[in-house]
Amino acid sequence: MPRPRRSAAAKAVKYNDDPLSDEVDDEDAALTDAGESASGASSSRKGGVHKAQDDEAWSQGDDSDDAPARKKARTSTSSSSTKGKGTSKGKSKGKGRAGKLSAFLAMPLDILVEISRHLDPPSLLSMSRANKMMRGVFAHRSAAPIWAIVRGNVDLPQLEATDLSEMQLASLVFERNCHLCGRGRASIVDYALRVRWCKKCQRANLDNQSRIRRKVEDLHVNAFECSPFTFHSLSGYNSGKNPYYCTPDVERISAQLYEVEGKAPKKPRKAKKKKSKKRKYEDEDDESDEEVMDEDDVAKLEAFVKQRHDIVAASQRDAVALVKWERSSITARRESGDAARQAREEAIRQKLLALGYSDADCIINPYSSVWNLVDQPTKLTNSIWTRISPKIIEHVEAQKKRRIASETASRCRIRHAAVQGRYELLLAAEKGEAYLTFPSPSMFAALPSVEPFWVPEGATLTDDAWAAALPAILDEVKLARRAIKVGYARNIVKVLVEAGAPIAAALVKKLEPSETAPVRPIGVLRDAAENHDMVRFGFSSLDLADTADHVGDAELDALFSRLSATFLSTKYNDSKLEHFPDIHRVLRDNRRAADVSDAVLPTVCFVKEVLDILKRTSLPDDRSSRRKLERLGPVFRCHGCDPERLDYDPFYFGRGARASDRSENLYWSDMMEHVTSRHRDTYMQRYMSPHIKHSEIRLSTSTYPPVPLQQPVPARKPATPFVPSRDPSSIEDDELEAWFDAASSDKPSTSGDIELEPVDDELEVADYELEAWYTASRFGDESTTTIADDEFEAWFDEASVDDPTAVGDDELEAWLADTGLDGPPSFADDDIGAWLDAAV
């Protein structure tokens, strides 16, 4: 639905109408009407807005308003509110407004003109619309020199074309109202067409010659050559090739051409009836008479066409000059805005310096939360500073605190490096086990006797001070060695006890940790610094008083001499099992803290399998057994390992093939490498995942049961035979399923056809139901066993039952209830006999 035009736009004269009279009054009226049209609704054309036949999917920018802004309703004045009452004599209707502007209106005209000479075009436009007196002064032809001076104030170029006045030029360049519909904030302007319009009006009225001919009937033959044109199309594809016109302008110029010729445009031709030859010749004579023009009309038409040719050519040159000025004006405004922003930033910096902040604190990051308060093109006044200063000062204070902390940490880093040099000298002097158990650099720097040399601000490290403190430092190093050793022993003894390794209960009790707070913790000064940048020096937790003096060194050495007392060290994706104190040395040389908690402990299943291997080979749980296991040769295999896993594991990408990548026929060293690399998620506590399939380290020369033997379950009572109330073959599947649901949930069944019995009673069930019962009875929900019929048959063939050739489901259940033993989660045929021999 077309938008209704404003009344002001409908009454306004077109902004680029050429005055046809040389009279001064006519020219003044045109200037006055131009001022009115520029104030709001701006030059509505007689032809109206032509709707586009095809809605273009592209645009060149437009404002966000769909309709022109409404004019504010005029509020009632004191004179109107007293209507009907007696008004005092001599008071006019607009007395209130006249009183406010009385001093301004009483100003001499010379002073008013002098003030207007120093304005810019937008200000003078607003001034000319203040009242009728101002409009009469500045919309008059005699005000053209004032407009020229104001135009020069902004370096706006003078136009060569004569169809646009100074006031109309100012309205075209600086105002944002659509010239066709009056909508505000129209951002599209074409200086060649002398029109500013919104996106909708541009789509509806910017056409080429062929489309205009289809829209406008009986167009004058000279209309296009006399109309302004542009080479900017809607799509931009044909820019610079084909001319485009404003349809209302072409329609208006066509009407002016017909007016100059002295005749009206022809009406659309209608279908003619068949006439006689005589009548046809008379009509042709009449038409030939109408087409004849006298010499005066021809001269007027030629003069008008020549005038329009000059205006169109001049408008093209003016468009180039205006576009160049607009670009330079945008650049100048941007540079002016940047200068104003820099001036405001400098003013804020001077304010902060006056408050006592340093230059480093006054630098505000563009990504900070207060940058929008600084980066403004507005001059910093006292009122603005009073409003924005609290947030800026708060930001600067936080920035100052961070700077001080960073500088403190930097100075602390220098002192810490000096302490590390002393540490390297002490470490190089150690030999043997003393070298292996020497604390890590971060742990050494956190000792109570070492911290005062680098943590406090202003601390100094001299040779004399270090020599005086060296005995105390060595004593603390000795305590740290003992505390580290006790920590490793506590961690490994927990795993060994859970795995069932033979360990003295007295040793376990002695190694129980104390629940009290650390008596002599390290890193006290560093933790009290309240500086987050201190984290870069590492955080090691150790209690120098936790030395377990009641535990002898021989007991601890015996514990660590076990083959099963191993730890995992990881370096550049290369895992390796280490014993103490080698594990501490590896962590110290490759980690910053080397705390006791950095060592990765083995899982209980790993320790059990190692102990089982030692038992089967009749070797003691001692480190010396590692060489003996290696001498056995490639007799170890990883049962349950997936050999295809290596091809899809990105952990091994680009590493190259190794002997430990196989799962069988491995040496002991290759098997340990295989375990730590391929099965870390199974055998190492830090990486353990409950969803990974469990593998098992085995000897290929020994016979293993299908699964490790479980504790025997209490024997079940013999089941009484169950006789169904009707033929089992007639029971439907849904009824059987309902029976099992009721039996498992202890809820009464609503079925009257099936006689419910306890779950222990036998019932003819399907294979998958038997499998579910068998799994839940022994292994619970965690088991994922699958038992096939052929495995059951083979199992009973070798079992000592009365009739192994014909075994039914109820007999199987009765046999299991008598023996009190349940089947394994998974087994092979060759392992059935060995399992039954041990079970029955």
Is residue 558 domain-resident?
Answer: yes
Q: What is the spatial distance between Cα 465 and Cα 471, in angstroms, rounded to a whole number?
A: 11
Residue among 42, 40, 39, 29 at smallest CA distance from 139: 29
> Which pLDDT does position 656 carry in this prediction?
57
Residue among 186, 155, 231 at smallest CA distance from 63: 186
Residues of the chain falling short of pLDDT 70: 1-104, 238-240, 263-293, 532, 535-536, 538-540, 571-574, 592-593, 642-657, 691-693, 706-733, 736-840
Is residue 732 domain-resident?
Answer: yes
Asked if 618 and 503 sit in the same domain, the reply is yes
Q: What is the spatial distance between Cα 618 and Cα 611, in angstroms, rounded to a whole number?
A: 10
Is residue 307 domain-resident?
Answer: no
Asked if 577 and 686 sit in the same domain, the reply is yes
Q: What is the spatial distance between Cα 520 and Cα 811, in angstroms, rounded to a whole number?
A: 69
- Dihedral angle, C-alpha 208, 209, 214, 220, nearest 10 °: 140
Q: What is the spatial distance between Cα 547 and Cα 308, in angstroms, rounded to a whole number?
A: 108
Is residue 569 domain-resident?
Answer: yes
Residue among 749, 587, 160, 301 at smallest CA distance from 759: 749
Residues of the chain by 3-state class (helix, strand, coil), percent to 5: 50, 5, 45
Asked if 480 and 570 sit in the same domain, the reply is yes
Token readout for 297 is 């009309």
Asked if 632 and 530 sit in the same domain, the reply is yes
Asked if 676 and 754 sit in the same domain, the reply is no
pLDDT per residue over 108-164, tens digit each? 888 888 888 999 999 999 988 888 888 888 888 889 999 999 999 999 999 898 888
Which DSSP category does 521 fall into?
B
Whether 229 and 90 have beta carbons less than 8 Å apart is answered as no
Token readout for 175 is 């105002």
Asked if 664 and 789 sit in the same domain, the reply is no
pLDDT per residue over 45-58, tens digit each? 333 333 333 333 32
Range of the domain at 779: 728-839
Asked if 781 and 674 sit in the same domain, the reply is no
Asked if 661 and 760 sit in the same domain, the reply is no
Is the torsion defined by CA of 727, 728, 730, 732 positive or negative?
A: positive
When divided into structural domains, the chain yields a total of 2
Is residue 76 domain-resident?
Answer: no
Three-state DSSP state, 230? strand
Token readout for 205 is 């009225």
Is residue 174 domain-resident?
Answer: no
Is the model's pTM score more than 0.75? Answer: no
Q: Which residues pair with 699 in a beta bridge?
A: 636
Peptide bond into 581 cis (omega under 30): yes
> Which pLDDT does position 310 carry in this prediction?
93
Whether 164 and 28 have beta carbons less than 8 Å apart is answered as no
Asked if 587 and 474 sit in the same domain, the reply is yes
Task: Choose the final residue of a domain: 699, 719, 753.
Answer: 699
Asked if 449 and 557 sit in the same domain, the reply is yes
Asked if 691 and 750 sit in the same domain, the reply is no
Q: What is the spatial distance between Cα 729 and Cα 309, in angstroms, rounded to a whole number?
A: 107
Asked if 454 and 602 sit in the same domain, the reply is yes
Place of tokens 């014909």: 806
- Say how many C-beta atoms besides its own lie within 10 A of residue 519's C-beta: 10
Q: What is the spatial distance between Cα 661 and Cα 678, in angstroms, rounded to a whole number?
A: 8
* Residues in CB range of 220: below 8 A, 6 or more apart: 253, 254, 257, 258, 265
Gyration radius of the chain's alpha carbons = 51
Three-state DSSP state, 292? coil
Q: What is the spatial distance between Cα 158 and Cα 177, in angstroms, rounded to a whole number?
A: 22
Q: What is the DSSP string of 360-427?
A: TTT---TTSTTHHHHS-SS---HHHHHHHHHHHHHHHHHHHHHHHHHHHHHHHHHHHHHHHHHHHHHH
> H or E element: which one contains 576?
strand 574-578
Q: What is the spatial distance between Cα 17 and Cα 29, in angstroms, rounded to a whole number?
A: 12
> Which pLDDT does position 344 carry in this prediction?
96
Is residue 473 domain-resident?
Answer: yes
Whether 671 and 584 have beta carbons less than 8 Å apart is answered as no
